[in-house]
Amino acid sequence: MAEDRDAWDELLAAGFLHALREAHREATLAVFGGLSRAAGFTERTYGVGAFDALASQIDRVFEAGPRVVRDDLNGSPGWRYGPYRVLLKRHEFGNVRGIRWDRDSPTKQAVARQSYVEDPQLALPLGIEAHDTPGVVTLVLAHSATEAPLEMELFLGRPRWNADGGTAWHWVRPVDDTIGLDPRRKLVERTMPLWDDREEDVPMRLRGETKTA
């Protein structure tokens, strides 16, 4: 099975993707509801606020259930389920496939240079030390939103080093309503039959913190 199918199916079945989608919605609404352009907030303010708010919301949605650990990479917020770590990246709305990883932070550059079996040329040394964890595949959760009209974009994928001007991803998929029903909610219904969509917390516990480099 291809890596994208392996990763996607495992994270989908665990409800990990649903938790990320939930966190993104909550964070976006909180940012747009709390900041006002009339008060002087700029696009940069929204961008920084959205990144920080999303990191906080992801911590929250993973607090009540098992098997998710906080796993930062070189100071960049990260969360890991099994062999998959997810880092955040805010992108220009509508341009997720136009990200230039070679112009991003050293950490994102290193992540984009992870070896990939179907593109071994990317294992060439480029003078950037990865500081990554053996056996862990680091993915990127790319997020963006617009205020008026309110639209959200959330993608999960494996970034590709694209100093050659080529594609930005080995694979990337939208994390939206097409991912279907949340499997975490089925688990809750067996023990909490009165649970409904107004319930905020769905079990997925955030365990102890792990930091790499």
Domain assignment present for residue 111? The answer is: yes
Indicate the pairing of strand 68-73 with strand 78-81.
antiparallel
- What is the domain extent for residue 101? 1-174
How many domains are there within the chain?
Answer: 1
Residue/partner pairs of 165-169 with CB below 8 Å, 24 or more apart = 167/97, 168/96, 168/97, 168/98, 168/99, 168/100, 168/101, 169/97
Task: Please state, in angstroms and rounded to a whole number, the distance separating the CA atoms of residues 199 and 27.
Answer: 17
Q: Which residue has the higher pLDDT, 65 or 185?
A: 185
Look at residue 69 and tell me if it is in a domain: yes
pLDDT tens for 159-199 read: 999 999 999 999 999 999 999 988 887 655 444 444 444 45
Higher pLDDT: 205 or 28? It is 28
> Are 75 and 126 in contact, with CB atoms under 8 Å apart?
no
- pTM of the predicted structure, to 2 decimals: 0.81
Query: Is the pLDDT confidence value at 212 over 70?
Result: no
| Nearest residue to 133 via CA among 71, 205, 77 | 71
190 inside domain: no
> Which is more confidently placed, 196 or 19?
19
